[in-house]
Amino acid sequence: QKEVEQDPGPLSVPEGAIVSLNCTYSNSAFQYFMWYRQYSRKGPELLMYTYSSGNKEDGRFTAQVDKSSKYISLFIRDSQPSDSATYLCAMSVGNTGKLIFGQGTTLQVKP
């Protein structure tokens, strides 16, 4: 079993839709949770960062962490074609700098 599970998709939605991306994990020691966006053949770009459980909002993006269920989510409101990319969840146990990534979900937002 992988430490971090993420549905690779692809996920296709119409412009303006609300997108929900999810990851589950098995290591209860994970404390830091991140979402990255990666465009084709580019390095990942940090979108959201959350420590421990709870919600965090930044513009059209909301990150949720439920440590009791070992489940994290990223919501994108009013999705745009420019949001089309691969979204990777990542986690770490402490401030060690060592991240464990999910497989990534490919999202396509159609105009």
Residues at the contact surface with other proteins, assessed by CB under 8 A: 6, 8, 32, 34, 36, 41-46, 49, 88, 92, 95-104
To other proteins, the closest distance from the beta carbon of 61 in angstroms equals 16
To other proteins, the closest distance from the beta carbon of 16 in angstroms equals 27
What DSSP letter does each residue of 63-104 carry, written as one string?
Answer: EEEETTTTEEEEEESS--GGG-EEEEEEEESSTT---EE---
What DSSP letter does each residue of 12-71 carry, written as one string?
Answer: EEETT--EEEEEEES-TT--EEEEEEE-TTS--EEEEEEESSEEEEETTEEEEEETTTTE
To other proteins, the closest distance from the beta carbon of 42 in angstroms equals 6
Q: Which is nearer to other proteins, 19 or 90 (CB)?
A: 90
Q: Which is nearer to other proteins, 49 or 75 (CB)?
A: 49
Amino acid, single-letter form, for residue 67? K
Q: Which is nearer to other proteins, 68 or 98 (CB)?
A: 98
Q: Which is nearer to other proteins, 14 or 97 (CB)?
A: 97
Amino acid, single-letter form, for residue 17? A
The gap from C-alpha 81 to its chain's centroid, in whole angstroms, comes to: 18
To other proteins, the closest distance from the beta carbon of 8 in angstroms equals 7
